[in-house]
Structure 1
Amino acid sequence: MDLDIRRAILANIKDNNEEQLQATITDSIDGREVLLPGLGVLFELIWKNASDQEKHEMVDTLAKGVQTQG
């Protein structure tokens, strides 16, 4: 079976408004681990559409978050 996870996730959210997208992110972070792969796809979209400066800011924020978790 050839399952394209990206395509399935994008198809599921393509008509979502900003509120629905935020709810998907919040649900994924707050414990619905089944939704975690979707966060990867959403992050991929963000990354591909971000400027170099925005990418730098995201990586900086991520690095700071990783340091506080340890």
Structure 2
Amino acid sequence: MDLNLRKAILSNIATNDQQQLEATIVDAINGEEKMLPGLGVLFELIWNQSQEQDKKEMVDALEQGVRSATQDLQ
């Protein structure tokens, strides 16, 4: 069986409007583990559509988030 996860996720969200896309993100963040691969695909779409400055800002925000999350783990 040849399963392309990226294509499957894109197919599942192809007709979603902004509210549905936001709900997908919120559900994944709030513990819907099965949704986590979808976040990766959504982030890939955002990244590929972003300018270099936007990418830098995302990486800066990610770095701050990682630092904050790891401090919470200690």
Same amino acid, percent of matched pairs: 57
**Corresponding residue for residue 65 of structure 1:** 65
TM-score w.r.t. length of structure 1: 0.98
Summarize the alignment of residues 1-70 of structure 1 with structure 2, pairs less than 5 Å apart.
Answer: 1-70=1-70
CA RMSD of aligned residues (A): 0.5
TM-score w.r.t. length of structure 2: 0.93
Deviation readout 1:17-67 (Å, 9 max, x if unpaired) = 000000000000000000000000000000000000000000000000001
> What CA distance in whole angstroms lies between the structure 2 residues aligned with 1:69 and 1:35?
20
Which sections of structure 1, spanning at least 5 residues, go unmatched? none
